[in-house]
Structure 1
Amino acid sequence: MTTSEARVVEPLAKFHAKVYVKGRIRIINNEREFLGLTDGDIVKLIIRTLDEEKKPIARAYFEGMLVSGGNVTIPKDLIQKLNIKKGDMVEVLLVGYTKLNEIIPKEHYRLLKQFKYGKFKLITADEEKQLLESITSILY
């Protein structure tokens, strides 16, 4: 392979992140803004643990969902396998993402966001009665 044929593969972003409670890390705002990432998007990450000289000693790939403030949680089993502790610094390579609003029909995406944000509505006794009637008419 000649140098002109050589292909350099780079991540979309590379940064260092502090590990917070329950393995939460944050994708920095500049990266999210640049890529147009929002809460609910799926990110594809390579995470590297580092030694004292800041050299990678272990690495893993996982996919996670962005939640408020650009947070994503490292899977619990992965935290244990890589012996990651709260307060550790890890190297993060953002290698891909999926914008759910582009692949899920609008009405389903809207429902997913409602679950995510724990949306609710206070109702009157009359609204409760109407809701119960409509639900039971569907079931029976």
Structure 2
Amino acid sequence: MKDTKEPLAKFQAKVNKDGRITIPRPILETFGLKQNDYIKVLIRKIGISGKTIVVTAQAVLAVKIGRNGAITLPKKLMREFELKENEPVEVIILDYYKFEELVSEKGRELLSKLQARNNYKVLPTDSSYLNEIGIIYRYLF
């Protein structure tokens, strides 16, 4: 008997004017998904007629989770699927990739410094700061 892999989550949403879809909070919480994590999703453009859902186009892609659980569909995909604001889509989450697993310790340190509100430090004008930032000059005499 062959194992089948079930999708992690499935929900219907409407696309906003910028091509964004918001992942429901219970799904984010269940999988511990946060801003900067990535998900592999199957996006389906759907039509709803009574109790019947018709899939008119679909694509699989990996997208970054933004602020408040929002994902943004590529503009090219929006044009190709002819998706307009408030059109319904079905989102099937197939897998997720935690930010911490994708980026090295050094990369995380740099990104957290770049994203911090005060991402700079004022240094003295003399050379006393060199050791603090890890620069050692060796002069030949």
> Aligned residues: percent identity?
30
Classify the secondary structure of the residue corresponding to 1:102.
helix
Distance 1:69 1:93 in 2: 18
**Contact 2:47/2:88 (CA < 8 Å) preserved in 1?**
no
Classify the secondary structure of the residue corresponding to 2:18.
helix
Aligned to 1:39: 35
Aligned to 2:84: 85
Q: Deviations over 1:47-78 (max 9, x none)?
A: 00012423111100111111110011001100
Q: Which moved more, 1:57-66 or 1:102-111?
A: 102-111
**Contact 1:48/1:57 (CA < 8 Å) preserved in 2?**
yes
Deviation at 1:114, TM superposition (A): 4.4
Q: Which moved more, 1:16-25 or 1:106-115?
A: 106-115
Classify the secondary structure of the residue corresponding to 1:21.
coil
Aligned to 1:20: 16
The alpha-carbon distance between structure 1 residues 67 and 113, as it changes in their structure 2 partners (threshold 3 A), is: farther
Aligned to 2:100: 101
Distance 2:3 2:36 in 1: 32
* Rg (Cα) greater in structure: 2
**Contact 2:45/2:55 (CA < 8 Å) preserved in 1?**
yes
| Residue identity in the other structure for 1:120 | N
**Contact 2:19/2:72 (CA < 8 Å) preserved in 1?**
yes
Give the TM-score normalised by structure 2. Answer: 0.77
Deviation at 1:107, TM superposition (A): 3.2
More helix per residue: 1 or 2? 1
Q: What stretches of structure 2 of length at least 5 have no aligned partner? A: 137-141
Deviation at 1:35, TM superposition (A): 0.6
Q: What stretches of structure 1 of length at least 5 have no aligned partner? A: none
Q: Which moved more, 1:77-86 or 1:45-54?
A: 45-54
Classify the secondary structure of the residue corresponding to 1:20.
coil
Classify the secondary structure of the residue corresponding to 1:110.
helix
More strand per residue: 1 or 2? 2
Give the TM-score normalised by structure 1. Answer: 0.77
Deviation at 1:94, TM superposition (A): 0.3
Aligned-CA RMSD value: 2.7
Runs of 4 or more, structure 1, over 4 Å off, are: 121-124
Aligned length: 129
Deviation at 1:128, TM superposition (A): 7.3
